[in-house]
Amino acid sequence: MRLPLLRDPGDIATAVLARARALGFSAAGLVDAAPLGSHDRYRAWVAAGHAGDMEYMTEPASVAARADLSALLPEVASALVVALPYGRLPLPPAHAGRVAAYAQGEDYHLVMKTRLHRLGRELPALAGRPVAWRVCVDTAPVLERELASRAGLGFVGKNTALIAPGAGSAFLLGELLMDLPLAPVAAGADTSMRCGRCTECIDRCPTGALGERTLDARLCISYLTIEWTGIIPLALRPLVGTWVYGCDICQDVCPFNEGAGAAVRDPELAPRARLTAIDLPRLIGIGTAQHRKLVRRTALRRAPREQLQRNACVAAGNVTDAAAWPALVEALSAAVLAGHPLVRGHAAWALGRLSQGKGDRAALALAAAREKEEDPWIVRELMLACDPREERNEH
């Protein structure tokens, strides 16, 4: 049974929004707990296979939970939706690996959860009675872009990102579900679809992952570098470019991100020097302790060491910079032949891209590894790297 409010709902709403802004959120709005209208679209997206291997998005229980906020908090009556800006960043040198802008600073999960939990603990004092509440940041099964649009934070663009005119799309979303029956209060952004005829994001996506306000995750560079833990398909590797974690291309080319507002950044999300321009050779050969230091308290914690090494190998093959040769050769040497096959196979591909022909260091390393390698997939990668004219079957 929902408890009655001891204070005026309008005053509570005003206080909640004021506290959200005081905690550093750039925008905040309130929505009721009505069923989510975009759920049918979400189910169709999953049925089309566009979620790829992300089981946390495709499991029946998870899909069902996204239909109604009460699956997360049975007593829910309203939700606070907030935005935290991470801002656009300058491009790194062409030979460096790239990390998506949102992941270059403190882990946003930690930042947003800390602030929203603080606000949640303050709710009883604001409402004058006990309050049931729950914080949701990214990992909870919530159709947060619909909630954010309903809360007046912006509109969903053709690149599937939430866009706030004047502020762009370089911000993260979070929610605080509450059993408080508060009337909706819009944050004030224009929520009407404003992309018009512009298709820059669709046209400039290297892999063709974007359609009209839809995304095939299986082709998305962010998915390939973060979610996908297996072998990156041969046809997609050259298209990954120098991204080692995430991708910003569809936002970088968006006209809504050209204004000064898109550069606004929360201080806690300030980029860390070690992540603004990734040293690819160093990442290819990174050790366990170095990996822990690199990803500590960042969103990169999601990626195992061998996955980041795999991504660095692909990026190095796309840079065609001779500086990466020693690290790639080491990844194929007898001393580390027992290393992770995911790294060895992608290192072979990168060396094949760097090799100028028989007799150079890359070609010799590939030939030496081919004599010792027993893993069938890596043997195939070595054969293709040694002779690119061979038929390149997709994995």
Q: Is 125 helix (H, G, I), strand (E, B) or coil?
A: helix
DSSP code per residue over 133-160:
EEEE-SSSS--HHHHHHHTTS-EE-TTS
Catalytic residue among 68, 138, 321, 360: 138
Q: Round to whole Å and give the CA distance between 168 and 163.
A: 5
CB of 105 closer than 8 Å to CB of 272: yes
138 annotated active-site: yes
Range 329-334, long-range pairs (CB < 8 A, 24+ positions): 329/361, 329/362, 329/365, 330/284, 330/285, 331/284, 331/285, 332/365, 332/366, 332/368, 332/369, 333/365, 333/368, 333/369, 334/368, 334/372
Q: Tell me the torsion sign for CA atoms 25, 26, 32, 35.
A: negative
Q: Record the tokens describing residue 233, joined without a space.
A: 């398909």
Residue 347 and residue 246: Cα distance in Å, rounded?
20
Reduce the DSSP state of residue 210 to 3 states and report it: strand
Q: Return all residues near 178 (Cβ < 8 A) that are at least 6 apart.
A: 73, 76, 77, 78, 79, 80, 123, 131, 132, 133
How many CB atoms lie under 10 A from the CB of residue 124?
12
Give CA–CA dist 383/39, Å, rounded.
46
**DSSP track, 24-83:** T-SEEEEEE-PPPTTHHHHHHHHHTTTTTT-HHHHSHHHHHHTT-GGGT-TT--EEEEEE
**Which tokens in the block code for residue 20?**
């959200």
Give CA 189 to chain center in angstroms: 24
Q: Which amino acid type is present at position 214?
A: T
Laid out side by side, the sheet with 171-178 consists of: 27-32, 78-85, 171-178, 133-136
Residue numbers annotated as active site? 138
